[in-house]
Amino acid sequence: MFKTVTIVGVGLISGSFALALKQHGLAERVIGVSRTEKSAKKALELGLIDEVMPLDAAVKAADLIYVAIPVDASISMLQQILDNVQQHQIVTDAGSTKSQICAAVDNHPMRARFVAAHPMWGTEYSGPEAAVKNAFTGKACVICDAEKSAPDALKAIEEIYQTIGMHLLFMSAVDHDMHAAYVSHISHITSFALANTVLEKEKEENAIFELAAGGFESTVRLAKSNPDMWLPIFKQNRDNVLDVLNEHISQLRKFKAALEKENYDFLQELMQQANRIGKILE
């Protein structure tokens, strides 16, 4: 158990993490650091945090500092935090990209106190009011460049995520970003594009509302995600996202060609190939 945990950013991920810590008895006190008074107040009202402090005081008071803010802001934030931690403290993050974050702190004298992690869970909603209980149960948490973290810090973070129900994967930050582009980032960019396609072609908002069935709604759900969070992810993982996006466009062209040429055997073959994903996900 940690006596005091500081969460930097009081939103969906950090709020759900704070709930999980309290539910499993992993933290006696949770301090929140927020750039907006509104978010801090809401997090207090919801019981996600016990008090609000400025960053410097919150870092000094904490045994564990958990950073869950947009990945572009995480770089300078983690550097600032590592400048002020002691050997008994642990710093971790929840960023959806890892390469630039890890590279930015690799030569920091307190690098060993940092554990780079990505709990693979999220929803299209944001803010402290989006936090939910049992959010991480049954999901994967990727820990990156584990060999660069101190053994005690690494063990503590592993135990936290295992206790709240996650299974652990270990890989380099570079490999993480490649795989995250393939299974997560492309899903979001495709959802944004699909939403724009429908908005462009279907001018009747009532028709979208009335006719949108479960399939469309589930596919386009991610288009409701916060652009302020996803723009930095796409920027930091640009090369990998472009790689998988080019492949996705190639696949769309195959479907388009099959329809244009009325090659329905090929169209069926493409769909049958896609069905293989079901066995993997099951």
CATH classification at residue 135: 3.40.50.720
Give the residue from 140, 172, 204 where a domain finishes.
172
Split at pLDDT 50, 70, 90, the class of 219 is confident
Same-domain pairing of 9 and 129:
yes
Q: Show the tokens assigned to 181.
A: 């582009």
Give me the pLDDT at residue 155, please: 98
Cα three-residue angle 117-131-118, rounded to 5 degrees: 10
* Residue 143 confidence class, pLDDT cut points 50, 70, 90: very high
Write down which residue in 172, 206, 240 finishes a domain: 172
SS3 273: helix
DSSP line for 101-117: HHHHHTT-TTGGGEEEE
Q: How far does CA 60 lie from the centroid of its chain?
A: 26
Q: Which domain holds residue 106?
A: 2-172
Supply the pLDDT for residue 55. 97
Structure tokens at 25: 């008895």
Burial of residue 270 (number of CB atoms within 10 Å: 0-12, 13-18, 19+): middle
Residue 265 pLDDT grade (very low, low, confident, very high; cuts 50, 70, 90): very high
Q: What is the pLDDT of residue 197?
A: 92
Half-sphere exposure at residue 134, Cβ-oriented, CA atoms within 13 angstroms: 1
Handedness of CA 68, 221, 144, 150 (dihedral sign): positive
Kindly state the average pLDDT of the residues 212-222. Answer: 81
Verify that 166 and 191 share a domain, yes or no.
no
Instruction: Identify the pLDDT of residue 209.
Output: 76
Q: How many domains does the chain have?
A: 2
Structure confidence at residue 223 (pLDDT): 94
Q: What is the CATH number of the domain that holds 238?
A: 1.10.3660.10
134 closest CA partner among 29, 23, 11: 23
Q: Maximum distance among all alpha carbons in the chain?
A: 67
Same domain, 26 and 128: yes
Q: Do 45 and 161 reside in the same domain of the chain?
A: yes
